[in-house]
Amino acid sequence: MFGSVTRRGFVTGALKAGAVAALGDYAFLNNLPHLSAADVKLTPARLCPDVEPLVRLVEETPRARLLEAVIGRIKAGASYQQVLSALLLSGVRRIRPRPVGFEFHCVLVVNSAHLAALASADKDRWLPLLWALDNFKRSQEIKRDKGDGDWVLPAVAEGKLPPAHQAKKRFLEAMEAWDEEGADQAIVPWVRSAGAAEVIEVLWRYGMRDFRDIGHKAIYTANTWRVMQTVGWRHAEPVMRSLAYALLEHDRKAGNPAKSDLEPDRPWRENARRVKQIKDGWRYGKVDPKAAADLLACLRTAKPSEASEKVVDLLNRGVSPASIWDGLFLTCGEILMRRPGIGGLHTVTTMNALHYAFTASGNDETRRLAMLQGAAFLPMFREFCERRDPKPKHDVRIDTLEPDAKEKGSAEAVFADVGKDTVRAARLALAMAQDNDAAAESLIAAGRRLIFNKGNDSHDYKFSSAALEDYHHATPPWRPRYLAASLFWMKGTTAPDNGLIQQARAALKG
């Protein structure tokens, strides 16, 4: 994505406080304001009232000059929230969200870059945002080359909007009918008049409704909502319009999903009935590692309907939802280990989005549906991966992977093997992380730092942010194995540098 850069000027140091391998000299970032954790979590009220000039700067400045231009604005006082807002709004206004993926990843990855910034040292927090800005310009260039570069989110048809008191009802009707124009007209007055929580509670369900675009609808819903917590609901109108348009994407040749029985929609329709079979009190079950392993074993061969039935059975037997999610996370990790690729990595990012919806929703049925849909999607992902790669690259299983404790492990040793002998790297990581939280955190910190230097694709940020976050969502007995599995899409120390550091350093000298 960035120009090539040699490793001269980069130093590899020892672990600091057991946390992170120093992969680069970032002293040049001292020319930018340091960002504390509080600076990137400020409430929307602290934002400046108008970011439109900054949005236009991001949209219109050529890629080769954008970082220098944005850095100039930062030096002049532009806040982290303003730059993040401009990045998000530029993407939703200028990149068509169909298909929900490909070049639109420049929008899907905004939250991932933000999460990377949150988890970084104060002086490093601008780096993910600078990368995401360049990534947006790259998507613009690709869209332009494809003849879609002049697309702009249309202006609101003010004269066609329904009254505010009818907006929610009209929106629901349009979404059920897969009516794009009706949904676009209704979402505007609804967003203008309703609270954020009311709107997202509805959108959680439509984000997980179908399997089209291999989970990207759920990802867009979760990631957008999460970014909105920082940039503020006042920016919601164009963002929610883009999201609604994305959620209605489907193959026109296959017919209207509302009037057809199409495979991507079948789990939702079945689970809308099945969800009522889950007994009251499902939230208060017992954490059971054996139940998670049982679900993992089922998902290796199950059909979507069988997978959802298994979840219902486990919940009704008194198994905790935490163990259900363990089984889902473990299955994602195993699919990725056996067939590293687009399908495998999206099992992880999709399950991260569904888990976030599960934790954020206040609706009991929506939370149950998130588990049932997650279970149903995994066999669909498994079949997707098997069609692309009939023979697994690695004949491994996540629950029987043997730790390699023959030598003293370190983050440097693990990531030196990633990309060369990733199975060995995973075994080393498993040996390190078992019963050693500090060692696990050192691996996480090193993995994230490597993305800054070597991440070239939206998937690098999107995957790493999801996987490293879900390490903490898994229960302790399974965390080391999930972390080991994540290495199959992480960057190793031998991967080429992306040039971000060089480009940012040059822009700061300008």
* Residue 156 maps to a domain: yes
* Residue 491 maps to a domain: no
Structure token digits, residue 160? 């066609």
Q: Give yes or no: residues 178 and 308 share one domain.
A: no
* Residue 490 maps to a domain: no
Instruction: Name the nearest CA neighbour of 302 among 401, 378, 196, 221.
Output: 378
* Residue 165 maps to a domain: yes
Q: Which residues contact 264 (CB under 8 A, 6 or more apart)?
A: 210, 211, 212, 250, 257
Instruction: Name the nearest CA neighbour of 117 among 16, 220, 227.
Output: 227
Contact 23, 10 (CB under 8 A): yes
Structure token digits, residue 364? 């009991």
Contact 178, 258 (CB under 8 A): yes
Instruction: Return the pLDDT at 500.
Output: 77
Q: Give yes or no: residues 237 and 267 share one domain.
A: no
Q: Which of 228, 251, 274 is the last residue of a domain?
A: 251
Place of tokens 């890629």: 63
Q: Give yes or no: residues 239 and 278 share one domain.
A: no
Q: Which of 345, 370, 388 is the last residue of a domain?
A: 388
Q: Give yes or no: residues 235 and 374 share one domain.
A: no
Helix pair angle (236-247, 196-207), 10° resolution: 20
- Amino acid sitting at position 2: F
Instruction: Return the pLDDT at 14.
Output: 32
Contact 421, 493 (CB under 8 A): no
Number of Cβ within a 10 Å radius of residue 289? 15
As a whole number of angstroms, the distance between CA 443 and CA 426 comes to 11
Q: Give yes or no: residues 123 and 216 share one domain.
A: yes
As a whole number of angstroms, the distance between CA 116 and CA 129 comes to 9
* Residue 192 maps to a domain: yes
Phi-psi region of 316 (alpha: psi -120 to 50; beta: other; left: phi over 0): alpha
* Residue 341 maps to a domain: yes
Q: Give yes or no: residues 311 and 361 share one domain.
A: yes
**Within a 13 Å sphere around the CA of 141, how many CA atoms are in the beta-carbon half?**
11
Q: Which residues contact 12 (CB under 8 A, 6 or more apart)?
A: 21, 22, 23, 412, 493
State which residues form the domain around 312.
263-388
- Amino acid sitting at position 226: R
b/e sequence 93-114, b meaning 16+ C-beta within 10 Å:
bbbbbbebbbbbbbbbbbbbbb
Q: Give yes or no: residues 283 and 203 share one domain.
A: no
As a whole number of angstroms, the distance between CA 27 and CA 124 comes to 9
Contact 94, 55 (CB under 8 A): no
Q: Which residues contact 205 (CB under 8 A, 6 or more apart)?
A: 366, 369
* Residue 10 maps to a domain: no
Q: Give yes or no: residues 141 and 36 share one domain.
A: yes
Q: Which of 388, 420, 443 is the last residue of a domain?
A: 388
Q: Give yes or no: residues 198 and 336 share one domain.
A: no
As a whole number of angstroms, the distance between CA 345 and CA 109 comes to 14
Q: Give yes or no: residues 247 and 274 share one domain.
A: no
* Residue 399 maps to a domain: no
Q: How many domains does the chain have?
A: 2
Positions of the chain with pLDDT lower than 50, given as ranges: 1-22, 42-48
Q: Give yes or no: residues 113 and 204 share one domain.
A: yes
Q: Give yes or no: residues 196 and 343 share one domain.
A: no
